[in-house]
Amino acid sequence: MSLLPDRMKTVKVVVPKDYSRNLLQFISSCEDIDIIDVQKKPFDITTYDNGQRIKDLSDDFDEVIEDFEVEDKVGRPKKLTILNDDLGAVLKDAEKVSKDVIQQLKKLKDRITLAEQELEKNKSVILIAQNLIPFGFSFEDLDDERPYFTVMVGKLNMKRIPRFKWNLDAITDSNYVLKESKSQDNLTFIAIGFLGRYQEDINRLLVAFDFEKLAVPERISGDPDKVVAKSKATIESLEKAIIDYKEEANKLIKENGDLILAYGEQIDIEEEYLKISNMLRYTDKNITFWAWIPDKRKKKFEKGVLKATVDSAKVEISEPVFEKSEYPTKTSVPRFMRVYDGLVNAYGTPGYNEFNTAIILQIFFPITFGIMFADVGHGLLFMLLGVYGLTLRNRTLDTSGFGGEIKNYFKNGAMLIIASGLCAMFFGVLFGSYFGVTNHAASYVPKPLWFSPEDASHLHNGASPVILMLELSLVIGMVHMTVGYVLRFIKNIREKHFLEAILVTVMWTIFHWSLFILVFTFGTNFMNWFSADLSGTFDLALFSINHQAIQFFTVNGALWLFLFGLAVPIVVMSAYLIISHKLDGLAELLEILLSTLSNTVSYARIFAMNAVHGALSMIFTLQIFTGEENGMGVINYIGVAIGSLVILAIEGLFSFIQTLRLQWVEFFSKVGYQGQGFKFQPLAIERRYTQLRK
């Protein structure tokens, strides 16, 4: 694990065509190469041998797996061993599974679809018939082929009925019949009878008034009462048939689910093989490809490709001849850190020479969130959401709906949620908050190990909880941004921008810390800063020994700190930026000064979100726990449960967003993070339902 992305090399591989399938298997299992598509050929699967067979099989398997939700019904399937050495054998086996199982399921799906269509048709017939009964009409009255008199039925917004009648009366000179009955959703079921010569004018009127015409299915005739009875019997028969079809399908899936998923996956992999082939260069005897490879993986790659091709491959690894901006970015992070890598990439993929700030995020993100959401009980619930996310790791989720999308967030962010929940519990113990209840509200709750942000009556080292939380927020911010300054300094040195490293980054850091020390030593009365005689001790009520605030150091003369800590850095930065960047340098200086102030104050949102959490908790718990003698009733428990869910959903989301903002805006601006790189993209395929024969 490194702050910098993996260092890259380019590799050229030449393999005899006899080992083409071995090569495809190796490339599709190797996470260490990103193939350079030198030919840029458009991909058309049908131009390849067996391409159309693969496409047809893929469509059939995918259709059945999706329509019958096979993955959910199988649960945790066993991995089947696939004999992958010969494409012909794979396709033959897949076609047998398709014939024996897939085609049967497709036929059942067609029958279910037809039955459901008939079901809806009969429900529509019942609706029309039930509304015709009060009107005294029969289905013969709705015949569109009647030349002289036409009857139409449908729905119209009830608020528009009076205006519609007025228009209808004007068009037909009162030569019409209209009957209506109330329907649902503010719609009125109406039947209109009129002479055929008004057909065209009335059609335009119906369109203008958004008339929803009910189409009468063919071969429906007779008395509406009899039609209703017949349709109800048909519906009952259709519903039973649909249940039988689904039971038959479920039985097939239960017996062959593993087989369906395994060969569905293998066919998809065969399609991926063809896509990989499209990026390789074929000659009469050889296959050649070029790729990016991490420097630290080159020996492993060479050994792997030689093994796959029985030592017949020629491998040439060399230094890239491209611009650094064209290098792909591959960040090597442990599995539990990938969620932080995802947060960084959501802002922008690191450039090849940019630091991977995910390593810093994994420390500061949970801590910042934990202070905002500090509570033992709520933190535990939040952590359990992460544990639930871990249980979804090996499942493919349907993210088309809202519920599936939320589950996907839990799945991908499980480790982040768990770490944030643990930090919330840790700070909950320090602050003495348990489901929003503190010791000053209920004596049986443990006392805080540090201080209670909600107990305004208690002073810690002479400071109120508000001041303490504000101090804590700003201290976290200063440490966080200082890490950013350090990374920026290292970046300047690596890029050989030595003057910028000293005259901007170091001066900026001195300016920022001097401002912080001045405020917490001499206060915000700026006139005190110009006194050479005024001395003070820098300390924070947060940190103490034996209830006495730690005196870190003494500042002898506020003016000297102001001059050498604020004025001199500003002058130095101004001179360098204006000389090197002209007027743009002045704008950059103003941005530095303004961002320093705004970014520092921005960390007060940690204090604000903690206060919001405390306020929301008290809304649901203050009245419940103030009287210990009353005990806890059922209503009390329900109130706590509802309150906890509201806090978990709303305040947890807000805290997450505010924490992420501090990382993306305040921290990234201090690092000088650009995020304009592009990802290293291996073609490795994950096998979930199959495994190759060893």
User: Topology of domain 139-221, per CATH?
Assistant: Alpha-Beta Plaits (3.30.70)
73: pLDDT strictly greater than 80: yes
CA distance 485 to 470: 22
% pLDDT > 70, the chain:
91
Give the side-chain half-sphere CA count within 13 A for 296. Answer: 8
| Rounded-to-integer distance, Cα 22 and Cα 86, Å | 10
Bigger pLDDT: 46 vs 222? 46
Residue 630 CB burial class (10 angstroms; 0-12, 13-18, ≥19): exposed
Buried b (16+ CB within 10 A) or exposed e, 168-204: beebbeeebeebbeeeeeeebbbbbbbeeebeeebee
Which pLDDT band, with edges at 50, 70 and 90, does 215 fall under?
low
Q: Judge if 1-37+291-330 and 139-221 fold alike in CATH terms.
A: yes
**3-state SS, residue 112:** helix
DSSP bridge pairs for 548? 545
Q: What is the CA radius of gyration of the chain?
A: 36
- Cα–Cα distance for residue pair 324/275, rounded to 1 Å: 28
Q: Which of 111, 61, 114, 103 is nearest to 244 (CA)?
A: 111
Q: At residue 629, does pLDDT exceed 50?
A: no
Helical (H) or strand (E) element with 301: helix 298-308
- Per-residue pLDDT, averaged over 644-670, amounts to 91
> Mean pLDDT over all residues of the chain?
87
Residues 6+ apart with CB under 8 A from 400: none
Complete DSSP assignment for 390-441: HHTTT----TTSHHHHHHHHHHHTHHHHHHHHHHHHHHHHHHT-BTTB-TTT
Contact 621, 635 (CB under 8 A): no
CA triple 181-186-191, angle to 5 deg? 30
356 three-class SS: coil
Question: Could you state, in order of their start, the residue ranges of all structural domains in the chain?
Answer: 1-37+291-330, 139-221, 332-459+608-678, 461-602
Q: How confident is the model at residue 634 (pLDDT cuts 50, 70, 90)?
A: low
Q: What is the pLDDT of residues 365-378, one digit of tens each?
A: 999 999 999 999 99
Give 31's DSSP letter. S
Which region, left, alpha or beta, applies to residue 630 given φ > 0 means left and ψ of -120 to 50 means alpha?
Answer: alpha
**In this structure, which amino acid lies at residue 620?**
F
For 571-601, give one letter per residue: b (16+ CB within 10 A) or e.
ebbbebbeeeeeeebeebbeebbebbeebbe
Intra-chain end-to-end CA distance of the chain, in Å: 31
Separation in Å, CA 82 to CA 49, 86, 534, 600: 21, 10, 81, 59
| Of the listed ranges 41-50, 130-139, 148-157, 679-688, the one predicted with least confidence | 130-139
* Assigned CATH for 1-37+291-330: 3.30.70
Q: Report how far residue 281's alpha carbon sits from residue 285's, in angstroms, rounded to the nearest whole number.
A: 11
Output 351 or 332, whichever has higher pLDDT: 351
* Those residues with Cβ within 8 angstroms of residue 619's Cβ, 6 or more apart along the chain or in another chain: 643
The three-state DSSP-derived secondary structure of 201-261 is: HHHHHHHHCCCEECCCCCCCCCCHHHHHHHHHHHHHHHHHHHHHHHHHHHHHHHHHHHHHH
Residue range 55-62: mean pLDDT, rounded: 95
pLDDT of residue 251: 94
Given a contact cutoff of 8 angstroms between Cβ atoms, the answer to whether 309 and 287 are in contact is no
Query: Averaged over 146-152, what is the pLDDT?
Result: 62
Q: CB-based burial of residue 623 (10 Å sphere; 0-12 exposed, 13-18 middle, 19+ buried)?
A: exposed
Q: What pLDDT is recorded for position 637?
A: 67
pLDDT of residue 628: 46
Encode pLDDT of 419-441 as tens digits. 999 999 999 999 999 888 888 77
- Rounded average pLDDT over 30-40: 92
Crossing angle between the packed helical segments 604-625 and 634-646, to the nearest 10 degrees:
170
Sign of CA dihedral 601, 603, 607, 613: positive
CA distances, 86 to each of 48, 56, 260, 307, 667 (Å): 16, 19, 20, 18, 53
Give the tens place of pLDDT for each residue, 568-610.
Answer: 999 999 999 999 988 888 899 999 999 999 999 999 999 999 9
pLDDT value at residue 626: 45
Which pLDDT belongs to residue 225?
Answer: 75
**Nearest CA to 353 among 324, 377, 381?**
324
- More confidently predicted of 694 and 122: 122
Task: Look at residue 148 and tell me whether its pLDDT is greater than 70.
Answer: no
pLDDT at 627: 45
d(CA 66, CA 61): 9
The string of pLDDT tens digits covering residues 461-519 is 778 888 899 999 999 999 999 999 999 999 999 999 999 999 999 999 999 999 999 99
Distances (CA, A) of 99 to 57, 60, 68, 79, 185: 10, 11, 17, 22, 47
Sheet of 176-182, strands arranged across: 176-182, 187-195, 149-157, 212-213
Q: What is the pLDDT of residue 541?
A: 86
Q: Is 543 helix (H, G, I), strand (E, B) or coil?
A: strand
- Are 270 and 90 within 8 A, CB to CB? yes
CA–CA separation, 52 vs 225, rounded Å?
54
Closest CA to 331 of 362, 293, 358: 358
Query: Three-class SS of residue 688?
Result: coil
Instruction: Give residue-wise pLDDT tens across range 517-540.
Output: 999 999 888 888 988 889 999 988
- Condensed to tens digits (0 to 9), the pLDDT of residues 157-186 reads 888 888 988 998 888 888 787 877 766 667
Mean pLDDT on 44-57: 93
The tens digit of pLDDT for each residue in 96-146 reads 999 999 999 999 999 999 999 888 888 877 776 666 555 555 555 555 555
pLDDT band at 197 (very low <50, low <70, confident <90, very high): confident
Name the residue with tokens 């369109």: 207
Residue 53, amino acid: R
Q: Which residue type, as a one-letter code, is found at position 163?
A: R
Tell me the pLDDT band of 78, cut-offs 50, 70 and 90: confident
Token duo for residue 599: 């970014």
Distance CA 365, CA 418 (A): 12
Question: Residue 445 region, left (φ>0) first, then alpha (ψ -120 to 50), else beta?
Answer: beta
- Look up residue 112 and give its amino acid: I
Structure tokens at 10: 């380019």
Write the CA distances from 611 to 317, 369, 453, 598, integer angstroms: 58, 13, 8, 20
Kindly report the number of other CB atoms within 10 A of residue 393's CB atom.
9
Predicted confidence at residue 124, as pLDDT, reads: 76
CA atoms within 13 A on the CB side of 334: 5
Assign 78 to helix, strand or coil.
coil
